[in-house]
Amino acid sequence: MTPTPEDARHKHLGTKPPDVPDLSDMRPDDWVERWLPRSWGPYARLCRFDRPVGTWLTLLPCLAALVQAADGMPTLLRIVIFSLGALIMRGIGCCFNDIFDRNFDHQVERTRFRPLTSGQLTLRKALWFVLGQLAVCALLLIALNEYSRWLAVALVPIVIVYPLCKRFTYWPQVVLGIGFNWGMLMAWSDTQNVVPLAAVAMWLGAVLWQVGYDSIYAYVDVRDDIKLGLHSTALKFGKNGKAWISGFYIATIALWVYGGAAMGMDWPYYLVLAAIAAHFIWQMSVFSLARPDRSFMLFRANMAVGVLLLVAALAGTVLI
């Protein structure tokens, strides 16, 4: 059968035609394809610009920390700097993940069409792209104080080592949570030049929250991870996933309650935390090991938790 132009387009993007079951996380008709030059597409997909959920899940807790550290509205400069930092550092993390996993990804249905493993980008080009992003991040550090710069430097090895963790530990999601939410600590260090215990509690709560929702996501890849000899919290929890994840969510709420109390958050803060707790209960009522499509949905639904956490910070500082 002669290939059609549509077939050629899907081959270039590393995706499948609509009539073929598609479990890939690449999408053939998104804004990257429609608006970016074709040569830019693989780079945008390598750093996940086409899937901004991860960026929002990085940024929203950071913005909440900025509000709490400022005891109100942070400066516009800090909002811009930390937003750009979240966007780029998340992209750098995704690049390192695909660089280290390029020989695994082609064996996993969800990831086998990613730019590196599908041949859309060479390893050399990917490395140059990472160096360019690191250079931009280095420029952003000029706007931060010395304490925050050292914290930023400490983040780099965490970002690099995360993709390797799944090779030797069942807890890579913990390392991911530490790195993803590092900006919360930097928000305090740059605003007040100190990271108090209450801020650490808020950060630990965010880390455990991420372990919970990323474990839900990890259940999608369980079969492939077993085949490849990789590890994840989903494999560690097994059939007890709902109990484990519920425990992490309960600990998250407890830490956020303590952190807010230690900061002197006003009562509306706790009202919004109650809404977050209700959202967690809903997640666990919907979560099913037999329904990986629900795992995708629940992972994305945690954006609502990030929004609510920011609302809680605003409610506890500026509403009363």
Residue 178: CATH number of its domain: 1.10.357.140
Distance CA 210, CA 293 (A): 19
Decide: 96 and 46 in contact? Cβ < 8 Å: no
Tokens of 194: 């100190």
Distance CA 13, CA 62 (A): 33
Q: What is the pTM (predicted TM-score) of this model?
A: 0.87
Average pLDDT over residues 272-299: 93
Structural domain for 231, as ranges: 51-317
When divided into structural domains, the chain yields a total of: 1
What tens digit of pLDDT does each residue of 287-308 get? 998 887 788 899 999 999 999 9
Q: What Rg, from alpha-carbon coordinates, does the chain have? A: 20
On the question of pLDDT at 4 being above 70, the answer is no
Answer yes or no: is 22 within a domain: no
Answer yes or no: is 31 within a domain: no
Distances (CA, A) of 240 to 146, 177, 254, 282, 289: 44, 21, 22, 18, 10
Report the chain's mean pLDDT, rounded to a whole number: 88
Per-residue pLDDT band for 52 (boundaries 50, 70, 90) equals: confident
Answer yes or no: is 27 within a domain: no
The share of the chain scoring above pLDDT 90, in percent, equals: 68
Tokens of 278: 């209700």
Answer yes or no: is 234 within a domain: yes
Answer yes or no: is 176 within a domain: yes
Answer yes or no: is 11 within a domain: no
Per-residue pLDDT band for 28 (boundaries 50, 70, 90) equals: low
On the question of pLDDT at 309 being above 50, the answer is yes
The share of the chain scoring above pLDDT 70, in percent, equals: 88
Q: 3-state class of 319 per DSSP?
A: coil
On the question of pLDDT at 62 being above 70, the answer is yes
Answer yes or no: is 23 within a domain: no
Residue 5: the pLDDT is 41
On the question of pLDDT at 93 being above 80, the answer is yes
